[in-house]
Structure 1
Amino acid sequence: MTNASLESTVLSAVEHRLFIGGEWVDAEGGKTLAVEDPATGTTIKEIADASPADGIRALDAAVAAQEEWAATAPRVRGELLRKAFDLLQERKEEFALLMTLEMGKPLAEARGEVVYGGEFLRWFSEEAVRISGRYGLNPEGTGRMIVSQRPVGPSFFITPWNFPLAMATRKIAPALAAGCTVVIKPPALTPLTTIAFVQLLEEAGLPKGVVNVIPTSTSSKVSGPIIEDPRLRKLSFTGSTEVGRALMKQAATGILRTSMELGGNAPFVIFDDADLDKAVEGAMVAKFRNIGQACTAANRFIVHESVADEFAKRVAEKVEAMKVGRGTEDGVNIGPLIDGKAVESTDALVQDAVSRGATVLTGGTRIVDGDGTFYAPTVLAGVAAGTRLLKEEIFGPVLGITTFATEDEAVSLANDTEYGLISYVFTKDLARGHRMIDHLATGMMGLNTGLVSNAAAPFGGVKQSGIGREGGLEGIHEYLDTKYTLVPVD
């Protein structure tokens, strides 16, 4: 089978309709939206474009299914997730190709996302049967205390475009394990992977109404009525801090349980005693994975002045050797940015840095050959204080280096941001590493590594990077309410 025919086969297998109440249905009025390949600018599929009325229909279905799903045995819920995990392993190549086509990431990275996204299914299939409580005599000896966990109830998920499989599994898996029903609104830019995943859940035995999917081009119009509906009990969002603030204001009316995984501005701190080979390797992963389009991407490289030149030289050599192209091509390291706006934003940050004295060691330009939205992977040295690059989330393949002299200065620079999702630290000094754990204001940290995400670990940030945790032992508790009952002692 040729590459073109394989792509066609994968795309044709994806449903083009909404999934509501266990049925694939057209959007109200038959409206559709176009999904494009960012590497070529061509439309690869037309799918149903949900209206506000479709959104309420999806919530109706989730509400109707909630009681029965909550009463379903934990083992049954877990086995469904495990079956979905097994099916995903069988179709990992199809899912990887689908992600590359609609989002642009290199195929090798898409395969990695299938592995990562699948682990949430396996992890929470195991956690479903471990929901526990407490039982014991109260201190006064007058009664028995029973503490139990109950499903929160119907949940609404708004997912981002950059990790279309992992963001869906990271939310859906713990919700189903806890006994909650779901309405999910995938991103208009990359909805196909989520739709394909729900098709897989359906094949695994998903009961009607337990998961409902409503892609739409009018996100706020569709989301607003759902969030305002008093039957909804949980809202989970991954995306920008700006949108997260607006959603939290809406959620306040109904006092919804919320999980918010928002923006990042990750510092990547390299001390003078760091293993530079490991630091360069970690930098390549932390910065350029997913074309730099990740909330966990290293944003500010804060390097000790004694090793800054050497680090810049080594990392620039690595970056200059990276191959840019369509993610389906062999050997490609950097695919397209998601759209033209992303290219404009990335270039504006680079030009601002250069205007303030930064030196371009490699890259620093748009790639205008063809119709795709590409930007050359870039390394900037001598990024000055006050540069936008140090304050704003880049979401592109740009590595900017600034320097420090003392440990206190490094901590101050790292914490000088409203965000607090993740930090990266490279040092051979174990005591210093532990000081960084204590002093860096982030929800996660990589110590001598550029990749920390794992389904068994709690993912989330502090400050304006969000609230709540996804994954780990903590992840399922985002979908559980604690109930206390007192039974008097006769």
Structure 2
Amino acid sequence: ALLMGNPAVLKLPATGGLVHLLTADAFAAALPPGVINFVTGAGRKTMPPIMETGLVDLIGFIGGTGAMDKLIKQHPEPHRLKVFAQLAGKNIGIVLPDADLDVAAEQCMLGSTTYNGQRCTAIKLMMVHESVADAFVAKYAAKVGALKAGLPWEDKVAITPLPEPSKPAFLEGLIADAVGKGATLVNAKEGGGTRHGALFIPAILDGVTKSMRIFQEEQFGPVMPVARYSDVAEVLAALKASWNGQQSAIFTSDPAKAAPLIDALSSQVGRININMQCGRSPDQVPFSGRRSSAMGTMSVAEALRAFSVETAVTYLAKDATSVALGGALDQHSKFLAPL
């Protein structure tokens, strides 16, 4: 936004907002007043008055689809509003019968538990072929069980307390719904699904079906569902029905088996990962999405385009006066001056 000449209003997040005090101090020391403005407080109270002014030309947003929809509707002229948003994800890890299960288990563990699974790029549902499901779940559970839970500053801790006060109860509700409909809490004996204050021990659910909330809803936390399938058509149907449009991961050693999934996913998600977890990096790879997962592409080049509108200055090439004028404008116009 700044590179393209835009002033900005930054809404500080309710969780972790204190860290931005350092950012605000740095901007205040380097930029003129009014270039970057910070707003604090509950988004439901602070954002509607700003959007209702109609002075917002572009909104950049990271969060849930419901909040994004409300913000757009609050603008009095939504047709004028450009939207650049990274939203929710329900990324599916697909394990085919010929997959290297050690690789699949390791990558799915990393993809579902890093940052407590609280990232849009996390693997939030695993669909595993029934012929290898038992072996995969055993390997996956062993890797998850080896993760140390504790406080962030403790040595080698991988699972830490959740920042949102309401999140543990929400996760417990997803587990109760799944178990009540026939799923198995694989690591119950190891404490899976229990909590100590805000510290939530990762829970692995096996036998998950589409009738369960965890199959559809974004958990955004350490509850990891495994659904079993007998035919890849079941996976394709789940992908087609999903609201997710961010990423997916395919685990296989056979290009012929990967191809139908890639062909289907190519028009459904923004990134397809082969034998690796879903993720953001490297930065030179565009971070895009479809459906309810994104509006716009996140990359340096795309961000510059998103926060700008092309303007052309033209003149008649056959008119000597216009040619002379056009050649000298960059010496007088700030807009046309070289960067």
Q: In structure 2, what is the equivalent of residue 188 of structure 1?
A: 14
The counterpart of 2:208, out of the listed 367, 383, 387, is 383
Given the superposition, is the C-alpha separation of residues 449 and 201 from structure 1 closer, same or farther in structure 2, using an over 3 Å criterion?
farther
Answer yes or no: is 1:439 the counterpart of 2:267.
no
Q: In structure 1, what is the equivalent of residue 65 of structure 2?
A: 241
Structure-2 separation of matches of 1:388 and 1:449: 26
Answer yes or no: is 1:449 the counterpart of 2:253.
no
8 Å Cα contact 1:228/1:253 also seen in 2? no
Unaligned runs of at least 5 residues, structure 1: 1-174
- Could you list the per-position Cα deviations for residues 380-437 of structure 1 after superposition, in whole angstroms to 9, with x for gaps in the alignment? 1111230100010011111111112223322222332122121111112234434333
Given the superposition, is the C-alpha separation of residues 247 and 439 from structure 1 closer, same or farther in structure 2, using an over 3 Å criterion?
same
Answer yes or no: is 1:409 the counterpart of 2:234.
yes
Moved over 4 A (4+): none
**CA RMSD in angstroms, aligned pairs only:** 1.9
Give the aligned residue type for 2:269.
T
- Could you list the per-position Cα deviations for residues 105-140 of structure 1 after superposition, in whole angstroms to 9, with x for gaps in the alignment? xxxxxxxxxxxxxxxxxxxxxxxxxxxxxxxxxxxx
Q: In structure 2, what is the equivalent of residue 488 of structure 1?
A: 316
Q: In structure 2, what is the equivalent of residue 221 of structure 1?
A: 45
Q: In structure 2, what is the equivalent of residue 304 of structure 1?
A: 129
The counterpart of 1:462, out of the listed 265, 290, 293, is 290
Structure-1 separation of matches of 2:4 and 2:253: 41
User: TM-score, with normalisation over the residues of structure 2?
Assistant: 0.86
Give the aligned residue type for 1:195.
L
8 Å Cα contact 1:292/1:395 also seen in 2? yes
- Could you list the per-position Cα deviations for residues 346-390 of structure 1 after superposition, in whole angstroms to 9, with x for gaps in the alignment? 01001111111111111443323xxx3121111111112301000
The residue correspondences of 1:19-168 to structure 2 (distance < 5 A) are none
8 Å Cα contact 1:227/1:235 also seen in 2? no
Task: Give the secondary-structure state (helix, strand or coil) at the position aligned to 1:198.
Answer: helix
Report percent identity of matched pairs: 32
Given the superposition, is the C-alpha separation of residues 471 and 252 from structure 1 closer, same or farther in structure 2, using an over 3 Å criterion?
farther
Give the aligned residue type for 2:240.
N
Give the aligned residue type for 1:328.
W
Given the superposition, is the C-alpha separation of residues 432 and 196 from structure 1 closer, same or farther in structure 2, using an over 3 Å criterion?
farther
- Report the Cα offset of residue 295 of structure 1: 1.6
Task: Give the secondary-structure state (helix, strand or coil) at the position aligned to 1:236.
Answer: strand
- Could you list the per-position Cα deviations for residues 416-462 of structure 1 after superposition, in whole angstroms to 9, with x for gaps in the alignment? 21221211111122344343332121122222111431222222321
Give the aligned residue type for 1:258.
V
Q: In structure 2, what is the equivalent of residue 357 of structure 1?
A: 182
Unaligned runs of at least 5 residues, structure 2: 319-339
Give the structure with the higher percent helix.
1
Structure-2 separation of matches of 1:433 and 1:200: 48
Given the superposition, is the C-alpha separation of residues 258 and 323 from structure 1 closer, same or farther in structure 2, using an over 3 Å criterion?
same
- Could you list the per-position Cα deviations for residues 269-290 of structure 1 after superposition, in whole angstroms to 9, with x for gaps in the alignment? 1111112121112111210111
User: TM-score, with normalisation over the residues of structure 1?
Assistant: 0.60
Task: Give the secondary-structure state (helix, strand or coil) at the position aligned to 1:269.
Answer: strand
The residue correspondences of 1:192-203 to structure 2 (distance < 5 A) are 192-202=18-28
The residue correspondences of 1:204-353 to structure 2 (distance < 5 A) are 205-216=30-41, 218-251=42-75, 253-254=77-78, 255-353=80-178
